[in-house]
Structure 1
Amino acid sequence: MQVRNIPNLLTVIRILLVAPLIYVLLQEDYFFALWIILMAGASDGVDGFLAKHYHWQSRLGSILDPLADKLLLISSFIVLAWLGHLPYWLVLLALGRDLVIVLGGLAYHFWVGPFEMEPVPLSKLNTLCQILLVVAVMISQLPGLDIPQLTGWFIYLVALTTLLSGMQYIWHWGGQAWRVSRTQKAGPESCRQRPETTNHG
Structure 2
Amino acid sequence: MTAVNLPNVLTTLRVTAAPLLAWALLTRQLELAFWVFVAAALTDALDGWIARRFGLLTPYGAVMDPLADKLVTLVCVVLLTWLEVVPLWLTLALVVRDTVIVGGAFAYQRAFGEVHIQPTRLGKLHTSVAFALFAMVLAEGADYLDLTPWRQALFWMVFAFTLASGVQYVVLWGRKAAQASRR
- In the superposition, the TM-score normalised over structure 1's length comes to 0.85
Decide whether the 8 Å contact of 2:78 with 2:91 is kept in 1.
Answer: yes
**Residue identity opposite 2:85 in structure 1:** H
Matched, 1:178 2:178: yes
Larger mean CA deviation between 116-125 and 12-21 belongs to 116-125
1:146 CA displacement: 2.1
Tell me how far apart the structure 2 counterparts of residues 143 and 92 of structure 1 sit (CA, whole Å). Answer: 26
Matched, 1:3 2:10: no
Structure-1 residue corresponding to 2:109:
109
1:144 CA displacement: 6.7
Tell me how far apart the structure 2 counterparts of residues 24 and 10 of structure 1 sit (CA, whole Å). Answer: 20
CA RMSD of aligned residues (A): 1.5
Decide whether the 8 Å contact of 2:81 with 2:88 is kept in 1.
Answer: yes
| Partner SS for 2:95 | helix
- Alignment identity in percent? 34
Structure-1 residue corresponding to 2:12:
12
Q: How many residues align?
A: 183
**Residue identity opposite 1:78 in structure 2:** V
**Residue identity opposite 1:140 in structure 2:** E
Tell me how far apart the structure 2 counterparts of residues 83 and 114 of structure 1 sit (CA, whole Å). Answer: 40
Structure-2 residue corresponding to 1:84:
84
4+ residue runs over 4 A deviation: none
1:36-89, Cα deviation, whole Å (9 max, x unpaired): 112112222222122111111011110111111111111000110001101111
Tell me how far apart the structure 2 counterparts of residues 163 and 91 of structure 1 sit (CA, whole Å). Answer: 12
**Residue identity opposite 1:32 in structure 2:** L
**Residue identity opposite 1:148 in structure 2:** T
1:152 CA displacement: 1.6
Taking CA–CA contacts closer than 8 Å with sequence separation of 6 or more, which of the two structures ends up with the larger relative contact order? 2
1:4 CA displacement: 5.0
1:135 CA displacement: 1.0
Structure-2 residue corresponding to 1:41:
41
Structure-2 residue corresponding to 1:128:
128
Structure-1 residue corresponding to 2:159:
159
Decide whether the 8 Å contact of 1:4 with 1:56 is kept in 2.
Answer: no
- In the superposition, the TM-score normalised over structure 2's length comes to 0.93
Structure-1 residue corresponding to 2:69:
69
| Partner SS for 1:148 | coil
1:173 CA displacement: 1.0
Tell me how far apart the structure 2 counterparts of residues 181 and 16 of structure 1 sit (CA, whole Å). Answer: 39
Structure-1 residue corresponding to 2:28:
28
